Structure 1
Amino acid sequence: MDQQLDFAPCGYFSISDTGIIHSANQTFATMLAYERDELIGKHIESFMSMTNKLFFHTYFYPYMQLYGHVNEIYLSLQSSGRLDVPVLLNGVRQTRDGETFMDCVIVEMRRRLEHEKDVLATKQRLEHLVQETNETNHKLELLHQEYETKQRELMSVNLQLETLALTDPLTGLKNRRFFNESLLSHLSKFHRSGELFSIALIDIDRFKSINDTYGHPVGDLVLTDLARLLNTSSRETDVTARFGGEEFVILLAGADESQAVHVAERLRAAIEAATLGNLNITASIGVATITLEDTDDRLINKADQALYESKASGRNRVTHAMDLKAAE
């Protein structure tokens, strides 16, 4: 960690999806009166009261899973002397080298601000609940047991939310958001190691006429059957997703131009030979292979142009973006 970030006028820490601290700057360690080594590897909730743990679970994790960021959360952390340190927290969920982290910045707040009245009201209700549990050890034990149960339920809900956020509800394939995250990860790996990969955009030919002739239920059945065919025909290292409407996309890990075209042609033939939704359909495919000049948007655009060429050339065919460049 460079010195500017290490001694920035705000605390910084990065945690895993399960809350384990992976890194922290010196400002954060000083704020809590700990040595930095005492923070790394610990769960962030180790530095929270029971009230703030509950608040963190009911707001921070679900919001991060759904939206990928949080802004201006007011809560208190506990220093090594068990003193409350009120802070304002911003966080963002990011993927680095294939792993997901939640990077957080905190600013110490010595004066209590009126902030997010609905969040504050929730916090006050939780504090009242904790105060009531202090009446007897028995009530405290019951609350602890209830908290453990709720924590497990929340972890399960968070997992379900993450799955729903990354899955297409009709076909069960990964959705465009998941594909985009995977594409960025492979793009970063390509720039580090030079490992090639390709993408193939697959579009059902004349899908509108299927819906118009047979109805949307049959159209949906065609989509789900095609999704099943693509999924069973893909390798474990590939990423198969619904790109939108009748369009699907496959990220072919490690595939160069000729390999990607071979795979795409095999898929095209399999689609033509299959009965999907009790119909015989065809699909057009556009393929693009990563180059040093490509960004994620540029690579998708190249595959999309190749797909357009397959459509314009009579459908039911495979076109690689390099074919377009050679024809210019």
Structure 2
Amino acid sequence: MDKQLNNAPCGFLTLSEEGSIVAVNRTLLNILNYEHEQVIGQHIDTILTVSAQLFYQLYFVPLLKLEHSIEEMYMSLNTRDGEEIPVLVNAVVRADHGATMTECVLIPMRKRNEYENELLMAKNAAQEALLAKQKANAELEIALGTLKAKQEELLETNKQNQQFKLNTKRELELARKIQENSLTESIVNDQIQIDAYYKASSELSGDLYGFYQIDATRYGIIILDVMGHGISSAMITMSLHPLFQRQITQGLSPVKVMKELDRHIHSLFQNDEEARHYCTAIYLEIDTARQKIDYVNAGHPPALWQGASGTQNPLYATAPPIGMFEDTVFHSSSLPYTEGGRLLLYTDGVMDPTASCYLFDLLKDHPDLPITDLKEKILTSLNHHKEAHHKSDDECFILVDVK
């Protein structure tokens, strides 16, 4: 970014087609109290208020796709310190070496004070004019009446905005509680022990998991991660939950479970390709009697099996993410075991698949640590890793001890 644009008297940023921040000028960074490396590569939701995130998904993105440009759209930014900054946004879509980019100009505004100052100045001007020129009382009354109406309109608009923010916050909190209550409880018996950790990066999460005892010796474990964050991703995960819960408890094979989840996501977006989402997922069926694990990994980060001897086997993807391609053929893989072992399943908010597998080393270094203590060590390591890389994503992992 050239020096003149970097220090322009207004904010400037460039977004990828997925909404990730590709470039940002120093002016906007100063307004938001962020450093360059803290926002580059992050989704624009990082700098938007909760209500603005919803507005961005429902109005900004569809209008931009339709018109390829936006003029003077009101949005609210969220500074690093939690301060809300109202801005006017002008945006335009352009092609850059085959990629679609959105360039945005953001102009800070604090209209409320400006309106009130304008009202006061206009009133004083009218009174001065009355004393100086003795203009007609009728005209002055009309002007004052108009000013009063504008002031009342401004106050009513502000009241409605505050109520909207309050209602939105309440609805999101209710949705978050519903989502968390859908998560399964830990399983502990003489065959297996299963425990999990889940934390959303915002009010709602695109991550979800479930584990169920199918019969006396079989257990089904699934973990999913829907593309993106926030309300749209959370709605998709919640629509998948009753479907996979029913299929797993009925004992359907991993291939059949994935086929049904894939069919469901395609049905959600069959008439709207632009809104299509995809979802990575891995489903395992553990049979303790046959001492075998059957699984399908649909584009998800590899789960890790660590045998009793300490040997580690990543369970790599066997198919593309669900919802990505029509008529996807899913294949299952099997992993036999003899003396039990330990499983780790996770989403990319816990361990980026492109990064070093630091959690794999943690499991290897503590093979005999009880699963509850291992969970605490993972959380400590995760917090340290997150601070070092400034990551902000949904966090979810499952630990399984097969006895």
Asked which structure has the greater CA Rg, the reply is 2
The structure richer in strand per residue is 2
The structure richer in helix per residue is 1
Using structure 1 for the length normalisation, give the TM-score. Answer: 0.41
